[in-house]
């Protein structure tokens, strides 16, 4: 991670475990402001945006490990940067152990409160837009791998910032296929499903080849 590892990060005095909706909490707003106002994101050709996970740190999540494995099979480490977003706000993956990102547990998928869901979309859209604006010249391309309200926040944040996301997966055709053919706990299923991962791999390869990413 090089330059990013050498940057000073805020050290919390207390490290309580958080269970309330994180997007309301002051600790997440402070960490978001640190990322936007102080943290220097190292330039990469591609940013890959993927949702946060219940297991912390995010990279220990089985779904994240599968997604990362697909990415590493297609792209070289120096070509891409993983960015985590969702109930955590938005955070470069190398900061996943920084407080409070490794110190909360919350599942938006279990929330039935319409106001909370609306608040999440509004807050997350603003945070995504802020990060995209900050990194406008840091990345050449942006790819999202997400479903549901996370996907909606990424799309709306992109529009608000005026910074395009070049490829969003899974495709709508694949999502509709999963909804019609699979019995899933969530309507659109999980990003770790074989069908989604297969399409993700195929589309990453196509993107790499059509954007000359395989050239030295």
- pTM > 0.85: yes
Q: What is the mean pLDDT of residues 168-181?
A: 94
The model's confidence at residue 14, banded by pLDDT at 50, 70 and 90, is low
Pick the closest to residue 98 from 4, 191, 3, 2 (CA basis): 4
Residue 188 scores a pLDDT above 90? no
CA–CA–CA angle 192, 190, 164 (5° rounding)? 85
What ranges in the chain are assigned the alpha helix state H? 26-37, 62-74, 114-134, 148-161, 172-181, 194-210
Which pLDDT tens digit goes with each residue over 88-116? Answer: 999 999 999 999 999 998 888 777 788 99
pLDDT reported for residue 64: 97
What Å distances lie between residue 103 and 24, 33, 167, 189, 216, CA to CA? Answer: 15, 18, 31, 26, 40
Q: What is the mean pLDDT of residues 173-192?
A: 87
pLDDT reported for residue 1: 37
CA–CA–CA angle 44, 203, 181 (5° rounding)? 135
Report yes or no: 44 and 138 within 8 Å, Cβ to Cβ: yes
Q: What is the mean pLDDT of residues 179-204?
A: 90
Question: How many beta carbons lie within 10 A of that of residue 215, not counting itself?
Answer: 6
Per the model's pLDDT, the better-predicted residue between 10 and 38 turns out to be 38
Residue 4 scores a pLDDT above 70? no
Q: What percent of the chain has pLDDT over 70?
A: 90
How far is 30 from 106, CA to CA, in rounded Å?
19
Residue 159 scores a pLDDT above 80? yes
Q: What is the mean pLDDT of residues 44-56?
A: 96
Q: Which residues contact 150 (CB under 8 A, 6 or more apart)?
A: 51, 85, 86, 124
Structural domains in the chain plus CATH codes: 2-171 (3.40.50.10630)
Residue 5 scores a pLDDT above 70? no
Mean pLDDT of the chain: 90
């Amino acid at each position: 991670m090089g330059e990013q590892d050498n940057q000073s990060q805020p050290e919390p005095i207390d490290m309580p475990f958080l269970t309330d909706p994180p997007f309301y909490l002051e600790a997440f707003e402070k960490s978001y402001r640190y990322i936007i106002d102080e943290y220097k994101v190292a330039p990469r050709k591609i940013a890959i945006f993927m949702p946060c996970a219940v297991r912390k740190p995010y990279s220990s999540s089985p779904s994240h490990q599968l997604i990362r494995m697909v990415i590493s099979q297609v792209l070289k480490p120096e070509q891409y940067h993983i960015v985590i977003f969702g109930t955590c706000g938005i955070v470069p993956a190398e900061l996943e152990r920084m407080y409070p990102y490794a110190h909360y547990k919350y599942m938006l998928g279990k929330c039935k409160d319409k106001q909370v869901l609306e608040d999440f979309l509004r807050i997350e859209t603003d945070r995504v837009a802020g990060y995209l604006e900050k990194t406008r010249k840091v990345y050449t391309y942006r790819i999202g791998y997400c479903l549901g309200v996370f996907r909606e926040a990424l799309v709306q944040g992109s529009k608000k910032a005026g910074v395009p996301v070049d490829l969003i997966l899974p495709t709508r055709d694949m999502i509709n296929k999963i909804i019609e053919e699979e019995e899933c706990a969530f309507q659109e299923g999980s990003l770790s499903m074989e069908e989604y991962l297969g399409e993700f791999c195929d589309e990453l390869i196509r993107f790499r080849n059509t954007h000359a990413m395989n050239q030295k």
